[in-house]
Amino acid sequence: MTCVATQLSNRTLVKGSRSTRSTIALKLTMAISGLVFLGYLILHMYGNLKVFAGHDAFNEYAHHLREFGAPMLPYEGLLWIVRVVLLVALVAHVWSALVLTGRARKARTAKYTVKKNIASSLSSRTMRWGGLAIFIFVVWHLLHFTIGKVNPDGGPTNDPYNLLVDSFDVWWMTVIYLLAMLALGMHLHHGTWSAAQTLGLTNTAKSRATAKRVGWVVAIVIAGGFALVPLSVLFGIVTK
Amino acid sequence: MNLTLKIWRQKDASSAGAIETYQVQDISPDMSFLEMLDTLNEQLNEAGQDPVAFDSDCREGICGTCALMINGQAHGPEVTTTCQLHMRSFSDGDTITIEPWRADPFPVLKDLVVDRSAFDRIIQSGGFISANTGSAPEANSVPAPRDKAMRAFNAATCIGCGACVAACPNGSASLFLGAKITHLGELPQGQPERDSRVVAMVGQHDHEGFGGCTNIGECTAACPKEIPMDVISQLNKDLRTAMKHGL
Ligand code: HEM
Ligand code: SF4
Ligand code: FES
């Protein structure tokens, strides 16, 4: 039993633990940064749905965003504030995800030969890969519409409405966006409920059931709301 | 019934282990899972082989010692402890894979036996209340509201078996932690140390090397005492409160 004795002596009681240095603090960081994304997505989706109001209304809105708060804010002032907030949230979210993933890996270095999942949803088990997929999509999306302004039809890129319609006239572009919205929907389905739980808002069976239902609603409304635009272009409901 | 058993064999903590295959015959459906393993061990003893080491104590579902991963489920296919699992939950001709709890904070000592003293240290770090010694106080001198008392009581049914850790893909002990935090935090006697308790216990949990919770819910499904996930929410809330109080 000597090996047991040495093993036990390695294991000590810690002194001076801090709430801010805990795994739960990392989870709180994920939850709050995730909710910042969620708030942004709701506004972004609202903006996108303006496409149904027609060419002029949509471009007007895009233009308005840039002049918002003038003259108190400079041109694109609001957009830059939003961009900085989102960037900070992204760094916090991804950094916490990486640290927590590392800890989870280290907590089980020897795998089971047989392991069944009986209660967890597919969304909950794909948070890390789903998050990565969303990240890659966001990079692509920014290159497409914001930084690079790629028009796969070869048309002009300085007219937001026409760039959008031209883009989603291309079937594979629509497929990329729809897959991304599937990944986003799944991430939000578990993420919303998980954030409620992490924030300590689900202390009864009833509030737990409500949070799970809210997760479904958020996932369907957000992913569905975003998906509506490329689908409408593809099916010719929104045209130039 | 006749069964094929695939069992993790490991000589000691520092040796590598492997799955070995055994056959057992004439197992009664009324036997408990542990009695079935006892039968195998008698067989191995007679053949002059090393019996399979596994933990058990009360064999009535209250001590939490009988930790086994059975066909990829902690404590097997029923919501109960391994000692209360009966062979009627299996069928003749089944192959059953039996492994130890897999979590680095629960190192394997031999075969199916793991060292769960990490849980003891989590309790030691804060899972208590301070009370004056001497004559026992009057039983009802500190009134506890009924709903809080019931919640505390339900959380207190946690037997510290570790199935939640075994089932969790992150190797997190949050359900166990949450059960203890809720048990003590719902009662008046638990209030003076409420903030320091949660910070110390979570700190010890992290120090032992358990992972963070992602609220996926495999723990509750595996828990023989059906501890609900709202204890994890309570744990998070108590930690957040302690954070606000500057701990
Ligand atoms: C950059 C790519 C992203 C990665 C790598 C990522 C990864 C993760 C991971 C690993 C979790 C933890 C899962 C859990 O604890 O249950 C998580 C949670 C979450 N994510 Fe993301 N995510 C990303 C982007 C996003 C985006 C764009 C949103 C906004 C819609 C978002 C919203 C959330 C929310 C609300 C949570 C719940 C926090 C919690 O568990 O308390 N994530 N994410
Ligand atoms: S919470 Fe349930 S599974 Fe976890 S240690 Fe307690 S009794 Fe066992
Ligand atoms: S041996 Fe005590 S709970 Fe199973």
pLDDT score for A10:
55
Taking CB atoms and an 8 Å cutoff, what residues of chain A touch B243?
19-20, 25
Residue A204 has pLDDT above 60, yes or no: yes
Joined tokens for residue A116? 């069944």
Taking CB atoms and an 8 Å cutoff, what residues of chain A touch B237?
199-201, 203
Instruction: Indicate the SS3 state at residue B224.
Output: coil
Q: Whole-number mean pLDDT of chain A?
A: 90
pLDDT score for B138:
83
> Which secondary-structure segment (H or E) carries A209?
helix A205-234
The verdict on B228 touching A (C-beta cutoff 8 Å) is yes
Span B54-71, mean pLDDT? 96
Strands (E), A46-166: none
Query: What are the tens digits of pLDDT across the range A6-15?
Result: 444 457 999 9
The CA distance from B63 to B60, in Å, is 8
Span A77-97, mean pLDDT? 95
Residue A136 has pLDDT above 50, yes or no: yes
Span B207-217, mean pLDDT? 97
Q: Where are the domains of chain B?
A: 3-102, 116-131+140-244
pLDDT score for A3:
44
* Range B115-121 contact pairs with CB under 8 angstroms and sequence separation of 24 or more: B115/A4, B115/A7, B115/A8, B115/B13, B116/B67, B116/B160, B116/B162, B117/A8, B117/A11, B118/A11, B118/B173, B118/B208, B118/B209, B118/B210, B119/B160, B119/B162, B119/B173, B119/B176, B121/A11, B121/A13, B121/B204, B121/B208
Ligand 1 first shell, C-beta below 6 A: A 27, 30-31, 34-35, 37-38, 41, 90, 93-94, 97, 127-128, 131-132, 134-135, 187-188, 190-192, 194-195, 198; B 214-215
Query: What are the tens digits of pLDDT across the range A189-201?
Result: 999 999 999 999 9
pLDDT score for B46:
96
Considering only alpha carbons, which residue of chain B is nearest residue A192?
A: B215
> Which secondary-structure segment (H or E) carries B99?
strand B95-99
Specify the residue with its C-alpha closest to ligand 1, atom 41. Answer: A195
pLDDT score for A19:
94
Span B79-98, mean pLDDT? 97
Percent of chain B with pLDDT over 90: 94
Residue A1 has pLDDT above 70, yes or no: no
- B56 CA closest ligand 3 atom index: 1
Residue B128 has pLDDT above 70, yes or no: yes
Percent of chain B with pLDDT over 70: 100
Residue A159 has pLDDT above 90, yes or no: no
The CA distance from B110 to B226, in Å, is 29
Residue A149 has pLDDT above 80, yes or no: no
Domain B116-131+140-244 homologous superfamily, CATH? Alpha-helical ferredoxin (1.10.1060.10)
Span B146-165, mean pLDDT? 97
Span B30-40, mean pLDDT? 97
pLDDT score for B99:
98
Domains and CATH numbers, chain A: 23-102+124-234 (1.20.1300.10)
Please check whether residue B198 is in contact with residue B182, taking contact to mean a CB–CB distance below 8 angstroms.
no
Span B117-124, mean pLDDT? 97
Please, is A160 exposed, middle or buried when counting C-beta atoms within 10 Å of its C-beta (0-12, 13-18, 19+)? middle
Query: What are the tens digits of pLDDT across the range B217-241?
Result: 999 999 999 999 999 999 999 999 9
Instruction: Give me the residue from A17, A111, A201 closest to B203, CB to CB.
Output: A17
Q: Could A190 and B13 be called an inter-chain contact, meaning their C-beta atoms sit closer than 8 Å?
A: no
Query: What are the tens digits of pLDDT across the range A95-128?
Result: 999 999 999 999 999 999 999 999 999 999 999 9
CA angle, A28 then A201 then B128, to 5°: 80
Residues 6+ apart with CB under 8 A from B112: B7, B8, B52, B53, B54, B55, B67, B68, B98, B99, B100
**Which CATH number, 3.10.20.30, 3.30.70.1230, 3.40.50.2300, 1.10.540.10, labels domain B3-102?**
3.10.20.30
CB-ligand 3 contact for B32 (6 Å cutoff): no
Q: Which residue has the higher pLDDT, A60 or A35?
A: A35
* Number of the ligand closest to the Cα of B81: 3
